[in-house]
């Protein structure tokens, strides 16, 4: 009995310890479960508050919009046009993967992932034509480095992102055609019809839908400023200039009041902060016809020179460029010649070009866009005045080099 007593005491001590551990574990599990339930309750409360806040904000915006529409019928018409044209627009993402890039000669090269964003439009050239996905080429054809993206996605409003492939593109006219990688996923939204920019007068109201700072499908209203900027029209957006000058708006369709597409955004003039240049409908129509017959990059011709309309050229600006204007000039003036390109040694600064292939030259756009439509190695015959005397030159077009133009 004396020997059994210590063993009994040890057994009781072990039982007490085991019981205590079990109780402690039960308490821990209970506390843990209570904590999880508490965290779930807090999370659900936060979600509910966020939803309530979102609903309140949405209701406030709706109330403000309704009040604005009641006070201003124009706001209602704009809202209706935006809702009508929104299904034709898409957000564009181009993933280039990782590349070594150097932003400046004063900064060391670094390796980073390149992801560019922009916009585009589902477009029909006529009511019976098949819809096409159209955007600007500088989103999917970067020159620093000279690569194409690994993957490209389009995202229509209210739809998941869909992977697409690059069918064809042109750097000079800055347009690209896209097609769906998987035909089973093909979705064109509600295509918009290509209109005619020439029917709009300066001051005509226009709307564009873009993605400034990655905020998708934001409308901006403005007015057409002028025609004839090579190869674009220009729009003025004073009330939303900060949106227009941010990355993400490239490829935004420009809509007239009838809902037709009259341009596609490709350049912003940062020095003025309110101007955006749009590729006009004539160039879009003709270029898409060429792109439809091409796979990959469309080769474009180039004079390797810059031109400016002589009519309306400011004499002070001409003096600054070192250009001598003849009396009563007509045609276009040569403002620069690129070294080792097509016009090097054949054209000179301040040459006045009056004819191209025996056709009178009406504007700089006639020469520049005419060369872009032509193929490299095409021979063009120019005629004009140099120092007051007539001269002729045969230019064998080179290949358009986007690096030298941008």
pLDDT of the residue at 48: 60
- Residue 222, strand partner residues: 206
Return the higher-pLDDT residue of 366 and 301. 301
What are phi and psi for residue 57, nearest 5 degrees?
Answer: -65, -45
pLDDT of the residue at 266: 81
pLDDT of the residue at 250: 86
- In the predicted model, what is the mean pLDDT of the chain? 77
pLDDT of the residue at 7: 59
In which band, very low, low, confident or very high, does the pLDDT at 192 lie, cut at 50, 70 and 90?
Answer: very high
CA 6/CA 345 separation, integer angstroms: 114
In which band, very low, low, confident or very high, does the pLDDT at 35 lie, cut at 50, 70 and 90?
Answer: low
- Please report which helix (H) or strand (E) contains residue 89, including its range: strand 89-101
pLDDT (tens digit, 9 = 90+) per residue, 40-78? 655 565 556 555 555 555 555 555 555 555 556 777 788
- Strand ranges, E, within 243-284: 253-255, 261-269, 275-280
**What's the whole-model pTM score?**
0.70
Helix then strand then coil, in percent of the chain rounded to 5, is 35, 35, 30
**What domains are defined for the chain?**
63-97+113-297 (2.40.10.120), 299-405 (2.30.42.10)
Query: Average pLDDT of 365-385?
Result: 88
What angle separates helix 281-291 from helix 364-373, to the nearest 10 degrees? Answer: 10
Q: Going by C-beta distance under 8 Å and a sequence separation of 6 or more, which residues neighbour residue 334?
A: 305, 306, 307, 343, 347, 348, 349, 350, 351, 352, 353
pLDDT (tens digit, 9 = 90+) per residue, 231-276? 445 444 433 333 344 567 889 999 999 999 999 988 765 444 455 7
Query: Average pLDDT of 124-138?
Result: 92
Q: Which stretches of 251-300 are DSSP H helices? A: 281-291
Q: Taking the mean position of all CA atoms in its chain, how far away is CA 296?
A: 19
Percent of the chain with pLDDT over 70: 66
pLDDT (tens digit, 9 = 90+) per residue, 305-327? 988 888 767 777 777 766 667 67
pLDDT of the residue at 379: 93
The candidate with the shortest Cα–Cα distance to 158, out of 79, 242, 217, is: 217
pLDDT (tens digit, 9 = 90+) per residue, 136-161? 988 887 655 467 788 899 999 888 88
pLDDT of the residue at 123: 96
Burial class (CB in 10 A: 0-12, 13-18, 19+), 79: middle
Q: Rounded to a whole number, what is the largest CA-CA distance in the chain?
A: 137
pLDDT of the residue at 259: 94
Answer whether residue 386 shows pLDDT above 80: yes
Residue 273: C-alpha distances to residues 133, 174, 197, 222 (Å)? 29, 21, 23, 13
């Amino acid at each position: 009995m004396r020997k059994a007593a210590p063993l009994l005491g040890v057994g009781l001590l072990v039982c007490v310890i085991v019981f205590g551990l079990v109780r402690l574990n039960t308490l821990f599990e209970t506390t843990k479960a209570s904590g999880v339930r508490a965290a779930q309750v807090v999370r659900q409360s936060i979600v509910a508050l966020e939803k309530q806040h979102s609903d309140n904000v949405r209701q406030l915006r709706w109330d403000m919009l309704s009040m604005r529409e009641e006070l201003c019928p124009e706001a209602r018409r704009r809202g209706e046009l935006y809702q009508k044209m929104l299904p034709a627009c898409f957000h564009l993402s181009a993933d280039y993967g990782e590349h070594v890039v150097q932003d400046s000669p004063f900064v060391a090269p670094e390796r980073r992932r390149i992801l560019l964003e922009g916009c585009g439009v589902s477009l029909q050239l006529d009511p019976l034509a098949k819809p096409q996905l159209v955007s600007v080429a500088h989103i999917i054809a970067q020159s620093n480095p000279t690569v194409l993206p690994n993957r490209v996605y389009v995202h229509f409003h209210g739809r998941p992102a869909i992977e697409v492939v690059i069918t064809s593109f042109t750097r000079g006219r800055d347009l690209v055609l896209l097609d769906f990688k998987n035909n089973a996923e093909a979705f064109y939204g509600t295509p918009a019809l290509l209109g005619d920019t020439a029917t709009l007068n300066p001051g005509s109201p226009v709307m564009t839908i873009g993605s400034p700072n990655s905020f998708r499908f934001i409308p901006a209203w403005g007015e057409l400023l002028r025609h004839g900027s090579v190869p674009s029209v220009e729009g003025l957006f004073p009330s939303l200039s900060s949106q227009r000058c941010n990355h993400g708006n490239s490829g935004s369709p420009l809509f007239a009041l009838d809902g037709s597409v009259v341009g596609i955004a490709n350049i912003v003039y940062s020095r003025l902060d309110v101007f955006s240049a749009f590729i006009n409908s004539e160039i879009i129509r003709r270029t898409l016809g060429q792109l439809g017959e091409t796979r990959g990059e469309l080769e474009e011709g180039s004079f390797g020179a810059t031109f400016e309309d002589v009519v309306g050229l400011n004499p002070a600006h001409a003096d600054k460029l070192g250009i001598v204007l003849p009396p009563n000039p007509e045609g276009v003036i040569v403002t620069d010649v690129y070294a080792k390109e097509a016009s090097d040694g054949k054209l000179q600064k301040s040459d006045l070009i009056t004819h191209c292939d025996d056709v009178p030259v009406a504007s700089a756009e006639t020469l520049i866009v005419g060369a872009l439509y032509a193929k490299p190695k095409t021979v063009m015959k120019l005629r004009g005045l140099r120092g007051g005397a007539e001269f002729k030159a045969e230019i064998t077009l080179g290949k358009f080099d986007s690096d030298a133009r941008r």
